[in-house]
Amino acid sequence: MSEHSIENRRQEGAVAAAVSIFAKHGNFIRSVIRLRVRDPFRREDLYQELFLKLIVQPVPADVQNVRGYLYRAILNDVIDLARQKENDKRHLEKYLERTRISIHKSPSPTAILEETEAKVSIFAYLTKQLRRREAQVMVLRYRDNYSIAEIAAEIGIDKRSVSRYLTSGLRELRRKLAIE
C-alpha cells in the first residue's frame, strides 16, 4: 500500500472519529460554548475549530471521560480567544498611538507614505478578522471603491446580500475596535 493511501485512510479515520464525537456530544459542546462565549459568530467559529482540532489531534484512546476532555479543550480555546482579542486590541492601540499626527506640524512626505502603507496593512489585518465573504465585500467596497451593484455583479450575489455582508462586517469591525 502506498504512503498516500495510508495517509488518506488515517485522515478518513480521524474525520470519522470527530464526526462520531460530535454526533454523540454535539449538544454538550454547543451548550458549553454558549455558556462561555457571548458572540454568536465566535461560538460557531469555536465549534468548527474544535471539530478540526479533533481531526488533527483525536481524543486519546486512554481518555475515559470524553466530556471532561472536550470541556477542557473548549475552555482552552476560549482562553486562547480572549488572549488573541486582547493582543489584537493592544496592537491596534499601538498602531493608533504611533500614527497620531500633530495638528501643529505638517507631516513630511515620507510620513504620509508610511501612514498610507500602515493603513493598507491595518485594513488587511482587520479584514482577516472577518468571515471570508464579509472580508471580500469589505475589500471591494472600501479598498477598491466598488458600488454595491458592482460588488453584486463581481461575486455573483444579490445586492441585498452585499448590503447584509457590509452591515455585518462593519458591525464585527466596530465590535473588534470596541466602538460599539
- Sign of the dihedral defined by the CA atoms of residues 167, 169, 170, 172, in that order: positive
pTM of the predicted protein model: 0.50
Instruction: Find the domain containing 34 and state its range.
Output: 3-86
Give a yes or no: residue 92 inside a domain.
Answer: no
pLDDT digits (tens, 9 = 90+) for 31-72: 999 998 888 878 888 888 888 898 888 898 899 999 999 999
Check whether residue 114 and residue 78 sit in a common domain: no
Average pLDDT, the chain: 81
Look up residue 1 and give its three cell numbers.
500500500
Q: State the total domains in the chain.
A: 2
Ranges of the chain with pLDDT below 50: 101-107, 111-112, 180
pLDDT digits (tens, 9 = 90+) for 155-166: 999 999 999 998
